[in-house]
Structure 1
Amino acid sequence: MPDYDLIAILGPTASGKTPFAAALAAELHTEIISADSRQIYRGMDLGTGKDLADYTVCGKQIPYHLIDIADPGYKYNVFEYQRDFLTAYEAIRQKGCLPIVCGGTGMYLESVLKGYKLLPVPENPELRARLSGKSLEELTEILKTYKSLHNTTDVDTAKRAIRAIEIEEHYARTPVDERSFPALKSLVIGVDIDRELRREKITRRLHQRLEEGMVDEVRQLLAQGIRPDDLIYYGLEYKYLTLYTIGELNYQEMFGQLETAIHQFAKRQMTWFRGMERRGFTIHWMDARLPMAEKIAFVKARLDGI
């Protein structure tokens, strides 16, 4: 049997990777580490698609990590994710279990699968002032001039693009310390969902989450004192629902623009994962439509080297 240190499950939004990871964790008697850049925030539940009920399998609660660990408004970063991932990973390994990392944030996944050596990046007020008047399109073009590992998948607002440029500029000017990060032998499983099925599920989930109170969730966050700009920073649901809540979009505009943005986001996720393959990762792609038992058998066969 190949001696793996970690199982990684990745896939675009609406691919069903979380319920699959939970079912696999139940089968292997292990725990899950989330790799989602927005599910770390408390109170941001419907908009980030936490679906915490997915972590209960046949009445058993599957332990999960790196969900609900930061307050909304905080700017969590990849350096912190590496640090927190290692803490969770080592705790699971000490129990004699094979950890599962599951998510769709490509940079988070790649940073731990490859063990990139990262540094915390402070704010650069001068750079921020210089970029403050530029459009998202202009900022995206600037970001493309940097040859680095940082993800542009979630950069769908000017504020996020400026932060991404700030990170790139810091790394370009600051030598990265050699710091230990374990070289993990990982079995990487990709959940492959047909494009039309993915689009159908995205639209259905968006209707469902709006019916479940996603607008009220945003209103509650604003009522707690979170600034609109800070919610818009997180992009996707929080960007468009905030714009609707503060009156800058009507409901139809909000829904249409958000639906399009989520479809585009899922496409960018797949582009990132295909890029991982070009960068040397072996991803074992599995059809999202397979029955759960067949999905689990798919992984177990590869754990056995079949």
Structure 2
Amino acid sequence: MPTVVAIVGPTASGKSALAMEIARRTGGEIISCDSMQIYKGMDIGTAKPTPEERAEIPHHLIDIVTPAEEFSCADYRELARRAVYDIASRGKLPIFCGGTGLYLDSALEEERFAPDVDKSIRDELKKLSPDELYERLKECDPETAAKTHKNNVRRVIRALEIYIGTGISKSEWDRRSRTGKKSFNAVKIGLDFRDRAKLYARINARVDEMIAAGLVDEVKNLPEPICKTASQAIGYREFFEYGFDDITLVAEQIKKDTRNYAKRQLTWFRRDPEIKWFYVDEGDGGAQNFKNIVNNAMDIITAALDVI
């Protein structure tokens, strides 16, 4: 059973910096656990790792679909678990990093996947239009079709190839497979602030930095159409709602929405007793405290791996 590390916490708490340092020390690879970083072209507003960081440390599940494509938690679970086994098979440490708690929980939950099928089936399905694919799915697996948008072509094809290749619908595979158990040894590290006002100040400053870095142009240049999920991303939806005439107004709304999102993230993660929490604003609240957090996190990880 592979051991994985998960760095969690609210937005703007420093998760990426901690994950990078742990990856440097362990030779690990990072799996993004962010429901919006999967979209190509949505870089500034989702606070993706920089090209330099991605060149230094391999990152997974970033830039995998266009903003026109729907992407579900089920899609994430399948790709994330494959990434874990791929990384572990090469003797590396998989490190989840992100604030989408639902995605993380789904990835860590045990599931026996439907077997891979002949690639030729997928190749033939790709020749069909989205409407034709979706009609076929409604015929053979109406339950999955009801939960899947027809524009999520990746998931529609996966459900069809499962049925064609095995004779069993994806919905039936899901019923047989889900157990609620954990299939990875997960070391969970959480970042938070003793003083919530300091977290909010960080959030506000980061939004200002995003605006200065070109977020407005990034939103304007997104290709159309944009799927419903991508259009709800914080940092983008505010422009869709308020337009581009008053950037100050939009920036303030982004800050408000991000602060509220941080509250929801903490509510989600705080219910998990397995998370070991560290506080970004303890001590000097700066470089020395970050170093202490890294060292303490490494002690926990080393004990779990018992090989470093």
Q: TM-score, normalised by structure 1?
A: 0.72
Aligned pair 1:177/2:169, yes or no?
no
- Structure-to-structure mapping, 1:128-139, within 5 angstroms: none
Counterpart in the other structure of 2:130: none
Deviation at 1:52, TM superposition (A): 1.9
CA distance in 1, matches of 2:4, 2:98: 14
Pick aligned residue for 2:289 from 274, 281, 291: 291
Counterpart in the other structure of 1:65: 60
Q: Secondary structure at the match of 2:267?
A: helix
Matched residue type, 2:278: M
Q: How big is each residue's C-alpha offset from its partner over 1:114-137, in whole Å with a ceiling of 9 and x where there is no partner?
A: 336799943469xxxxxxxxxxxx
Q: Secondary structure at the match of 2:176?
A: coil
Aligned pair 1:212/2:208, yes or no?
no
Deviation at 1:251, TM superposition (A): 2.9
CA distance in 1, matches of 2:99, 2:261: 10
CA distance in 2, matches of 1:50, 1:118: 29
| 2:5 and 2:301 in contact (8 A); partners too | no
**CA distance change for structure 1 residues 111 and 69 in 2, over 3 Å: closer, same or farther?**
same
| 2:108 and 2:184 in contact (8 A); partners too | yes
CA distance in 2, matches of 1:299, 1:95: 23
Counterpart in the other structure of 1:266: 262
Deviates more, 1:188-197 or 1:101-110: 188-197
Matched residue type, 1:225: E
Counterpart in the other structure of 2:46: 48
| 1:106 and 1:273 in contact (8 A); partners too | yes
Matched residue type, 2:189: I
| 1:42 and 1:71 in contact (8 A); partners too | yes
Q: Secondary structure at the match of 2:294?
A: helix
Matched residue type, 2:220: R
Q: Secondary structure at the match of 2:190?
A: strand
Deviation at 1:182, TM superposition (A): 6.7
Deviates more, 1:266-275 or 1:255-264: 255-264
Percent sequence identity is 31
| 1:117 and 1:176 in contact (8 A); partners too | no
| Structure 2, unaligned runs of 5 or more | 115-142, 149-170
Aligned pair 1:197/2:201, yes or no?
no
Matched residue type, 2:73: V
Counterpart in the other structure of 1:236: 234
Q: How big is each residue's C-alpha offset from its partner over 1:10-57, in whole Å with a ceiling of 9 and x where there is no partner?
A: 01000000011011100101100110000000000011111325726x
Counterpart in the other structure of 2:145: 122
Q: How big is each residue's C-alpha offset from its partner over 1:273-305, in whole Å with a ceiling of 9 and x where there is no partner?
A: 01233xxxx111012245343222112211343
